[in-house]
Amino acid sequence: MTAGCSGLPPDGASPTAELMVFAAGSLRSVFTDLGAQLEDVEPGTSVRFNFAGSSDLVAQLTQGAPADLFASADPQNMTRAVDAGLVDGEPVVFAANTLTIVTPPGNPKGVASFADLAEPGTSVVVCAPQVPCGAAAEKLEQDTGVTLTPVSEESSVTDVLGKITSGQADAGLVYVTDARLAGDQVTEVSFPESAGARNSYPIAVLEAPDQPELARQFVDLVTGPTGRRLLAEAGFAVP
């Protein structure tokens, strides 16, 4: 799904420059805010986003989708992009995230731990293994010896959250940032084992971007004081 900030000059004329950013779905809120800020300081600029699971984004880039920047929810998918010759320069880690359990409001099933997710009769939703949040869930299973039997495996963490907020499952594994953003639409159940599956988020300018200067400006915005503040407010750990 592609989303964009307004990006139009005051007179309604077409933007003079368009920056395309491919970013993990969990970055939607923070990056949308940062895109609007870049548009404010660069009149005539439109910042557009494609938010999806990191593995899906790499697949799209590999197939030739045009973009200036890529922000992944894990180093592994960024490495795939680097190995495919899609990245210009060195990726920069700008944030980290950990998993948490979310349930419908009030936690009807009384989920209190990671092990509770394996209880019979508890419907659980996770990310697919190729998605960073799914890989983190698999690591937790290996570390704890708890085997989950999810009713569905979603292509992004936002899809998992949607299953919970719509009442289609009893519990799901999402990032702490997504749980915070969902507010009272969910009940969060933190668990200590989550610290063992923390994901780092790298960002990189892509090879031959249409807007190299704007791409570098956006990276500076993400990694600078404003980006760090917004990321921390959203629940991300920042370097």
Q: Is CATH 3.90.1300.10 the classification given to domain 99-197? A: no
Instruction: Pick the closest to residue 98 from 154, 64, 137, 62 (CA basis).
Output: 137
Asked whether the beta carbons of 222 and 34 are under 8 A apart, the reply is yes
Confidence of residue 37 (pLDDT cuts 50, 70, 90): very high
**Confidence check: pLDDT of 9 > 60:** no
Q: Which residue has the higher pLDDT, 5 or 39?
A: 39
Which pLDDT score is estimated for 15? 62
**Confidence check: pLDDT of 157 > 50:** yes
Asked whether the beta carbons of 67 and 26 are under 8 A apart, the reply is no
% of the chain residues with pLDDT over 90: 90
Which pLDDT score is estimated for 193? 95
Mean residue pLDDT across the chain = 93
The string of pLDDT tens digits covering residues 54-74 is 999 999 999 999 999 999 999
Asked whether the beta carbons of 158 and 25 are under 8 A apart, the reply is yes
Confidence of residue 7 (pLDDT cuts 50, 70, 90): very low
pTM of the model: 0.85
The string of pLDDT tens digits covering residues 172-214 is 999 999 999 999 999 999 999 999 889 999 999 999 999 999 9
Lowest mean pLDDT across 7-11, 140-144, 228-232: 7-11
The string of pLDDT tens digits covering residues 112-138 is 999 999 999 999 999 999 999 999 999
Q: Do domains 2-96+200-234 and 99-197 have the same CATH topology?
A: yes
Confidence of residue 4 (pLDDT cuts 50, 70, 90): low
Average pLDDT over residues 146-155: 96
Domain boundaries, the chain: 2-96+200-234, 99-197
The CATH class that applies to domain 2-96+200-234 reads: alpha beta
Which pLDDT score is estimated for 2? 46
Query: Hunting for tokens 């197939």 — which residue is that?
Result: 63
Asked whether the beta carbons of 27 and 58 are under 8 A apart, the reply is no
